[in-house]
Structure 1
Amino acid sequence: MPSALPDGLPAPLDGSLPASATAGDEPRPFGFYVHVPYCASRCGYCDFNTYTAAELGGGASQAGYADDAIAEVRLARGILGDADRPVETVFFGGGTPTLLPAAELGRILAAIRDEFGLAADAEITTEANPESVTPAYLETLREAGFTRLSFGMQSARTHVLHVLDRHHTPGRAQECVAEARAAGFDHVNLDLIYGTPGETDDDWRASLEAALAAGPDHVSAYALIIEDGTRIASRIKRGELPSPDDDALADRYLIAEELLTAGGLGWYEVSNWAANGAGRCRHNELYWTGADWWGAGPGAHSHIGGVRWWNVKHPKAYTERVTAGHSPAQGREILTEEDRRIERILLELRLKDGAPLSLLKPEGMAAAERAVKERLLDEDRFADRHAVLTLKGRLLADAVVRDLVD
């Protein structure tokens, strides 16, 4: 959940949505995102809307957070009315959701279930730092109805974790996978980061091999992005660390594709690999395909029927609003048809199934034809009226997208 919020239009105090947002004969897929903004310490690369105890200040607390989030869930039910919209996915992100007691996360999930109902096959995920959970904690989550866990492993190398200001012990993330399996979780993800200053190709291979050896059915691998205002950005600016090298990042991506594919995981989004369809993160697929979701918590973003809004950032301001029975939304925007067309290209092109060519204007179509010739888009899928990135195209995905949205 990025820390910077757009300006947008003022959001109504009662959170009401235009009638167009909920119109339509067929309800769209619907999910819930719950942002838990607390961390034990701040990672050097993190630009998310998170707070340590020292940064939190007065007027908000971890202890009262579940009640605040539940208040927003109930507000959401009132705003969306009585329409039958069972929740297909719930994702607890942060921050570190597992800094809250497992029973508190379970209470928030129960509120979503009570207010909206959960689909029979609902996917319920929480992110977790490896050092923030125990076998008993994971068992409580499973009993509460959670079905999927996502652990922030990042690297298997001590010196890489040190540069990232990650404080878990190498090997602990892999232990968590075994503990999650023992607790009854069928679906487990490990998050990895490549391109950290000081990381070598061998370091990256070791991290991938360690992740695969743990037996998750999903791995996310993200290139390190240097965000202004972060500790790592300051260290690079002072010359203490080198900037990530684009060629090295490309090499690391190719290594990830090679090892993860050999390990039985196939890519389905540029940065995500899964063992099979059931292993995919269905919640993220809601985002990538423009479905509906309600984002609860400080700084959380929501999207319902072409209306997008974002909550106030600070936990104190968030608590004050929901306690008063008001919407915590700070601003919003109503997407035009052109906005939605562009977003579909931006997001769907990153998927293995790609984006339909019908989304492209003549200039974009001409760019797509050039991309096929340059082997950035799959020629066979192009003939099938879809723009699908090749492996070379995945390395240059942002540039390809920029050309296609013209």
Structure 2
Amino acid sequence: MKTLAAVLRQEREPRPYASSRPLRLEELDLADPGPHELAVRIEAAGVCHSDLSVINGHRPRPLPMALGHEAAGVVTAVGSDVQDVREGDHVVLVFMPSCGACPACAAKKPTLCVPAAKANGAGSLLSGARRLVGGRGESVHHHLGVSAFAEHAVVDRSSAVVVDPDLPLDIAALFGCAMLTGFGAVRNTAAVKAGESVAVIGLGGVGLAAVLGAKAAQAGPVVAIDPVPAKRALALELGASHAVAPEDAVAAILEATGGLGVRWAFEAVGSTGAMRQAFELAGRGGAAVFIGLPPSTAELTLPAVSFVGESKSAIGSYMGSANPQEDIPFLVGLWRAGALPVEKLKSHTIALADLNEAMDRLADGAAVRQIVLPHSALPHGGLS
């Protein structure tokens, strides 16, 4: 079948992207799903820094590539070996498939699946196949096994989590990356306990999801850190006890913790500066949890003596150490109970044609989560 998709053919195009237009809408041929795959009509997709990091060259990927990795949609076809998903099922798509057989999968750590990581790096589906073909007859790579900035996609079965059809798909999309990554870092990676102090650096969709996770864990105090006043205000609305600019973080945390520093400092920016700050804000016996993806060439220097002399830790958290097939239903349950106002993370609703402008807003820190509606009648430049 034919599908319209946002394709990147050249990274590191100059900003503003509204002018250089690195993402171009192209009509691609989309093959039928393989034996362990699904065809999905994409109904909503979130715009994330992991998309921007491919465009700006921070995370090099094979090109051309159809971008987008956080999404929800409706299954339109199932492969011959798929027994537990049917046409018409509503699904949340996740950016890390899992083979189910490697040591990581056997240990119920699917985010560390080695074959999946290899496939994502190669721009293929988990089977090694690519189902997208461009107008010149060339293979177009998949982004993190999803390629959601499109009308339709083919994904591995393990990249999809079935959800109830009454869950609004524009909200459902946020569970596939932002909520898994941010909330999961708090719940799974750190296992934050009630009464433990928390700082969150960077209040995009992932950082605010970490704030929601800290609130759900009954942590306190919860200090939210970001240079953008509107994001700080939203963090307070979502449950942070304090919200400050980065330059005020040290003083605010010392005051909030009685001079101790926080037990957990979550970094959700993807910069070495923010990672260093997270480590500095952690108190004795505390830990910095790194959620954001920095450029692939970046290196981080931390004071070695603090690991022993202060018993500090630095922990990486990929996709919130999640098991999506279990964690997404859990998170949806919290949303249904009114304990997880995920819809408040949506800052813009856009059409596929607005993706370059959306990347400018993301790079400028002017958006939380922008939701693409591939089949909408939104005019170019339309915002909710």
Q: TM-score range by the shorter chain?
A: under 0.3
Structure possessing the higher radius of gyration over alpha carbons: 1
TM-score for both structures, normalised by structure 2: 0.24
